[in-house]
Amino acid sequence: MNRIDLAPLIKRANELLFGQRWAEAVQVLRRILIVWPNWTDGSREFTRAMAHMKAPPVVSRLLRQSSWMRPDDDRLHKLAMNTAYRIRNLKDARIAARRMVALDPSNHTALGMIALIATNGKDYCDAEAVHERMKCVLPLTFVDLQAHLFGLLNRGLLSRAEPVARRLLVERPNGDTAVKAMASILSQRRCHEVAYSWCSRLQVLRPDDPEILCANARITLVCRMLGISNRFARRAIVIQPNMGEAYIDLARPSWKREERDVAELALARAVVIEPALALRSRILRLTATRSTFARAFQRNNVSTPV
């Protein structure tokens, strides 16, 4: 069989691809590529069909090979980028995105992927630089704004994070990401009562989310609403018994209410669930015990020991 004889097979492959019959298209394209291995369009479509068949590792390998055959094919690089990101191969996804940017410096999709990968890798300065570059090309999409907000919060840039969060709220008033960000920003600024109102709003949107309940427990604890903080933490434990953070949030108000047994049990349970919480529980136990002794000395008119 020569290349002239491949015309019917190529036509059949195009029909199958148009009809999204991926498995049959893969079989036909494989026959074509055996005879014509350097056919770049066929390699790309074969890879795309394999991607739809959900064979990401195979697809990732094929894409690396195809990229060398046709380095100026933007569609091929985009497919490589999305496939690599889907299987959490961030290195290959970044390479494909950078190739797209090399072909088109204003490619918003590729720049967004580079920023997202930088945010996932906690390279927040790099992510912000890419976001600034993206804003010069087109307004940031909702997903890009979320990644930008996450980076600003993790760098502690609250004054710059707040307008981004408010912009997200304009686009989606009930978006949990923006509401949670506003609660976090106000809490770090010690506007605890306002932060609690945002957490209450988020709890209406997601009443059974243990993370929201724990956030409410921490904010009400700072506002000295110990009973309410205790109830939030207990409800989070009922919803998700294997959440170590919830037990830590239960121990804090219990220490302040001098319920030592409850606090000790909560800390022990937190360490069993998440051994990484051992240091935090130890610090909490030491600081809480010192505060308990201080209150006892004050009640007996004895000066607090240094």
Alpha-carbon distance of 171 to 177, in angstroms, equals 12
Q: Is residue 133 domain-shared with residue 217, that is, in the same domain? A: no
Q: Is residue 265 domain-shared with residue 306, that is, in the same domain? A: yes
In a domain, 117, yes or no: no
What's the whole-number average pLDDT of the chain?
A: 73
Q: Are 169 and 175 in contact (CB under 8 A)?
A: yes
Q: What is the Cβ-side half-sphere exposure of residue 141, based on CA atoms within 13 angstroms?
A: 10
Q: Inform me whether the pLDDT recorded for 262 exceeds 80.
A: yes
Query: What average pLDDT does the segment 156-161 reach?
Result: 76
User: What is the percentage of the chain residues whose pLDDT exceeds 90?
Assistant: 0
Q: Domain range for residue 131?
A: 124-206
Q: Inform me whether the pLDDT recorded for 302 exceeds 60.
A: no
Confidence of residue 306 (pLDDT cuts 50, 70, 90): very low
In a domain, 95, yes or no: yes
Q: Is residue 93 domain-shared with residue 156, that is, in the same domain? A: no
Query: What average pLDDT does the segment 126-145 reach?
Result: 72
Alpha-carbon distance of 42 to 45, in angstroms, equals 5
Q: Which two structure tokens, joined as six digits, stand for 100?
A: 């797209």
Q: Is residue 26 domain-shared with residue 75, that is, in the same domain? A: yes
- Looking at residue 304, its pLDDT comes to 36
Q: Is residue 252 domain-shared with residue 265, that is, in the same domain? A: yes
The CATH number given to whatever domain includes residue 56 is 1.25.40.10
Picking from 104, 136, 153, the residue at the C-terminal end of a domain is 104
**Spatial CB neighbours of 297, under 8 Å, sequence gap ≥ 6:** 303, 304, 305
Instruction: Determine the 3-state secondary structure of 3 from DSSP.
Output: coil
- Looking at residue 293, its pLDDT comes to 43
- Looking at residue 55, its pLDDT comes to 56
pTM of this prediction exceeds 0.85: no
The H-or-E segment that residue 6 falls in is none
Q: Is residue 184 domain-shared with residue 274, that is, in the same domain? A: no
Q: Is residue 82 domain-shared with residue 13, that is, in the same domain? A: yes
In a domain, 114, yes or no: no
Query: What average pLDDT does the segment 6-34 reach?
Result: 80
Q: Are 212 and 206 in contact (CB under 8 A)?
A: yes
Instruction: Determine the 3-state secondary structure of 47 from DSSP.
Output: helix
In a domain, 235, yes or no: yes
In a domain, 223, yes or no: yes
- Looking at residue 288, its pLDDT comes to 61
Query: What average pLDDT does the segment 269-288 reach?
Result: 74
Q: Inform me whether the pLDDT recorded for 102 exceeds 60.
A: yes
Q: Is residue 15 domain-shared with residue 79, that is, in the same domain? A: yes
Q: Could you give the residue ranges of the DSSP H alpha helices within the chain?
A: 7-18, 22-35, 40-52, 56-69, 74-86, 90-103, 108-120, 124-137, 142-154, 158-171, 176-188, 192-205, 210-222, 226-239, 244-256, 260-273, 278-299
Q: Is residue 10 domain-shared with residue 98, that is, in the same domain? A: yes
Residue from 33, 85, 86, 84 nearest 63 by CA: 84
pLDDT, tens digit (0-9, with 9 covering 90-100), for 34-73: 777 767 677 777 777 776 766 555 555 555 555 555 666 6
Q: Which amino acid is at 49?
A: A
Say which range, 107-116, 123-132, 208-217, 266-275, has the weakest mean pLDDT: 123-132
Q: Is residue 214 domain-shared with residue 254, that is, in the same domain? A: yes
Picking from 154, 174, 206, the residue at the C-terminal end of a domain is 206
In a domain, 154, yes or no: yes
Q: How many domains does the chain have?
A: 3
Confidence of residue 107 (pLDDT cuts 50, 70, 90): confident
Picking from 206, 226, 257, the residue at the C-terminal end of a domain is 206
Which residue, chain included where needed, has tokens 């195979």?
Answer: 58
Query: Which CA distances in Å does 287 have to 57, 267, 282, 292, 294?
Result: 50, 13, 9, 9, 11
Residue from 182, 242, 161, 175 nearest 206 by CA: 175
